[in-house]
Amino acid sequence: MASITISTIQSSIFWEDKAANLQMFQEKLKSLPNETEIAILPEMFTTGFSMDAERLAETMDGPTVQWMRDLSRSLQMIITGSIIVKSHDRYYNRLIWMMPNGNLGYYDKRHLFAFSGEDQYYTAGNKRLIASVKGWKINVQICYDLRFPVWARQSFSTDEQSPEYDILIYVANWPERRIPAWKALLSARAIENQAYVFGVNRVGTDGHDVPYSGDSLIVDPLGEWLYHQTGTEDNFTITLERDFLDGARKKFPFLKDGDGFQLLT
């Protein structure tokens, strides 16, 4: 089976300044290795974690989605990260999965962070997005979703003898003061789902003086940390080998012993 090369971008974000953020992330994306097949940006990468949805939202035909389409095509890599989107008079914290051929998928954040009032301004999503790249199945989620393991829980097909996905990605604006939970939960999601987990967080301080330490992580299916960076901006590129994932699942066939369930939304 093919390997896959993924790059993460841990960055500060200019508060509610789309033009500055697009320029900055364009430079960072262009600096990634040519072999990168997927590039991961943080949550709300054009604005920071803002509740000013009415002023900052764009449509799916707006400039940021077009920016992603143009860059994905020119760089020949999938680009993903979340932005503020308005659709049918509702606002969403929406992750865009942009492919080099111009097609896209999207995922609307399921669990809205009521502690900061996100649920008052945004509408929750009700379906997951699992993309497929070179035979790898990739589940994408956003920040607070990490605290709810059922939403990420693998279903195991006894007929196909295969799990639902191979890689789980969280894009985030996760504050520094709650980083111990971030690191513990990312590790738990990897172990319990026997999947690679990517947590891509921001650094810096937002418009409410909330500090972010990054602490972006890549965790393998056995819970080992393959990458961890705290406190500074950093781009990181890793190539995952399919043989290791399949070997871990074969050696420790825990998923087939899990409880059957039906996910209700």
Q: Which domain CATH number covers 53?
A: 3.60.110.10
* Confidence band for 259, pLDDT divided at 50, 70 and 90: confident
Domain assignment present for 265: no
Tell me the angle at which helices 18-30 and 63-75 cross, rounded to the nearest 10 degrees: 10
Domain assignment present for 263: no
Phi/psi for 203 (5° steps) reads -125, 180
Average pLDDT, the chain: 96
Query: Distance between CA atoms of 175 and 157, rounded to whole angstroms?
Result: 37
Query: Distance between CA atoms of 126 and 118, rounded to whole angstroms?
Result: 16
Identify the helix (H) or strand (E) that includes residue 14: none
Query: Distance between CA atoms of 48 and 60, rounded to whole angstroms?
Result: 19
Query: Distance between CA atoms of 205 and 80, rounded to whole angstroms?
Result: 22
Q: Domain count for the chain, please give it.
A: 1
Catalytic: which of 37, 43, 134, 192? 43
pLDDT tens, residue by residue, 68-120? 999 999 999 999 999 999 999 999 999 999 999 999 999 999 999 999 999 99
Reply yes or no on whether 143 is catalytic: yes
**Whole-number percent of the chain with pLDDT over 90:** 92
Residue 256 has a pLDDT of 86
List beta partners, residue 199. Answer: 170, 217
Domain assignment present for 120: yes
Domain assignment present for 142: yes
Residue 223 has pLDDT above 70, yes or no: yes
Domain assignment present for 262: no
What's the whole-number mean pLDDT along residues 134-156? 95
What is residue 202's three-state secondary structure? coil
Catalytic: which of 18, 37, 118, 143? 143
Report the candidate in 181, 173, 175, 187 with the shortest Cα–Cα distance to residue 226. Answer: 187
Give 256 or 122, the one with higher predicted confidence: 122
Report the candidate in 190, 179, 189 with the shortest Cα–Cα distance to residue 231. Answer: 179
Catalytic: which of 109, 192, 224, 256? 109
Contact 145, 170 (CB under 8 A): yes
Reply yes or no on whether 109 is catalytic: yes
Domain assignment present for 69: yes
Residue 157 has a pLDDT of 66
Range of the domain at 67: 4-257
